[in-house]
Amino acid sequence: MLGRLAARAPAKINLLLEVGPARPDGFHDLLSVFQAVSLEEVVTVTPAATFGVEVRDPQGRPVPGIPDDPQHNLALRAALAVRAGRPELPPLHLDVVKEVPVAGGMAGGSADAAAALVACDAFWRTGMGLPGLHPFAAVLGSDVPFALHGRTAVGTGRGEHLVPVMTTARFDWVLVLGEEGLSTPAVFREFDRLALEHPPTPPRRDSERLRAVETALRAGDPVSLGAALANDLQPAAVSLQPGLARTLEAGREAGACGVLVSGSGPTVAWLADSHRHALDLAVLAAERFGPDRVRTVHGPVPGAQVLEAVRR
Ligand code: C5P
């Protein structure tokens, strides 16, 4: 029997996020291009008397504001989903090391769930693999399937139907983290309120904006990708946190190839044209917003995977 097993899963940036009108179930149909980036969550599972979860930052400090009960914690819900109908499997304790900002629009909670799915499947030897885990992922949250698969992909539906996008290039980003989180449902509600004046049309797979992003990705060209970045949730995020407009403007002034709010925000992503350029932009961002709020990342990176397994 294993004594412990660790798995990782990445955060994401939405390079494109087209949002349709609210559906009868309250969700919105999306057309999204996700890119997995080099901020990650690590979930370590160990056998325990009962299920439980602890969330810490990379320095080992507890992270406040994350539920630890099995109804709400996404990593615990993922573990319980894999164990459903198999009471013989031993309960696990989950230790989460969180690099991804909480309520930041980068799918950190979804990465916890994806890492937990992969860790539990490997620990218990349930043998589901990615195809078997995908249906659980889609039920846990709209962004969990992408955190499982990683790299760069077009997502449709709630974001759970994924098709990989071919790109061999590496893209370098500077992230400016928000001072306070934004609730995803609140941003979608604000989107609906703003949509009363400008009703959105359902996203279409033949969208010109999608073609522009795919062409730039295929060419590996950060300048055209920067021009093609678009997020329909950005006006709603800026409406709830008007200071985001300054963070976007600061990126443009600093010479980023493109800037946008990631997902429902409030993380703002500045696209650089090289690693060197990202380091220069990060210096400017740190002077303006403080080093604690700035991260330099690159993408695409792989989806959820096992890091290590240790025997007892
Ligand atoms: O699926 P997930 O739990 O991540 O979604 C969080 C919330 O974001 C949903 O409850 C819904 O309010 C909103 N949402 C949406 N349409 C989507 C995805 C999320 O309205 N496609």
ipTM of the modeled complex: 0.94
In angstroms, what is the span from residue 213 Cα to ligand 1's centroid? 23
Nearest atom, ligand 1, residue 142 CA: 1
Q: What is the pLDDT along the chain (312 residues), one digit of tens a residue?
A: 789 999 999 999 999 999 999 999 999 999 999 999 999 999 999 999 999 999 999 999 999 989 999 999 999 999 999 999 999 999 999 999 999 999 899 999 999 999 999 999 999 999 999 999 999 999 999 999 999 999 999 999 999 999 999 888 999 999 999 999 999 999 999 999 999 988 899 999 999 999 999 999 999 999 999 999 999 999 999 999 999 999 999 999 999 999 999 999 999 999 999 999 999 999 999 999 999 999 999 999 999 999 999 998
Q: Is 272 marked as a binding-site residue?
A: no
pLDDT value, residue 167: 87
Q: Where are the beta strands (DSSP E) in the chain?
A: 2-22, 28-47, 52-56, 92-98, 152-157, 161-164, 171-176, 230-231, 258-261, 268-272, 294-299, 305-311
Ligand 1 within 6 A of 143 CB?
Answer: yes
Phi-psi region of 291 (alpha: psi -120 to 50; beta: other; left: phi over 0): alpha
Cβ(159) to ligand 1 under 6 A?
yes
Residue from 102, 184, 190 to probe ligand 1 pocket by mutation (most atoms less than 8 Å from CB): 184
Minimum-distance ligand 1 atom for the alpha carbon of 185: 12
Cβ proximity of 186 and 240 under 8 Å: yes
Residues whose CB falls within 8 Å of the CB of residue 210, separated by 6 or more in sequence, listed in order: 16, 18, 31, 33, 154
Would you say 226 is a known binding-site residue? no
> From residue 94, how far is each of 80, 112, 144 by CA, in Å?
11, 10, 17
In this predicted structure, what is the pLDDT of residue 156? 97
**Nearest C-alpha to atom 19 of ligand 1 is from which residue?**
27
Contact 111, 134 (CB under 8 A): no
Instruction: Indicate whether residue 185 lines ligand 1 (CB < 6 A).
Output: yes
pLDDT of residue 78: 98
How much distance in Å is there from the Cα of 5 to the middle of ligand 1? 30
**Residue having the nearest C-alpha atom to atom 2 of ligand 1:** 141
Contact 96, 132 (CB under 8 A): no
Q: What is the DSSP letter of 62?
A: B
Is residue 102 a known part of a binding site? yes
* Two structure tokens written together for 223: 């300048």
Confirm or deny that 254 is annotated as ligand binding. no
pTM: 0.96
Residue 13 CA to ligand 1 centre (angstroms): 16
Bridge partners, residue 18, by sequence? 31
| Cis peptide bond upstream of 300, omega within 30 | yes
Q: Which atom of ligand 1 lies at the shortest distance from residue 22's CA?
A: 20
Per-residue pLDDT, 166: 87
Q: What is the pLDDT of residue 275?
A: 98
pLDDT for 237: 98
Is 30 touching ligand 1 by the criterion CB < 6 Å? yes
Does ligand 1 have an atom closer than 6 angstroms to the CB of 28?
A: yes
- Report the separation in Å between the CA atom of 121 and the middle of ligand 1, taken as the mean of its atom positions: 26
User: What residues are labeled active site?
Assistant: 12, 143
| Atom 20 of ligand 1: nearest residue by CA position | 27
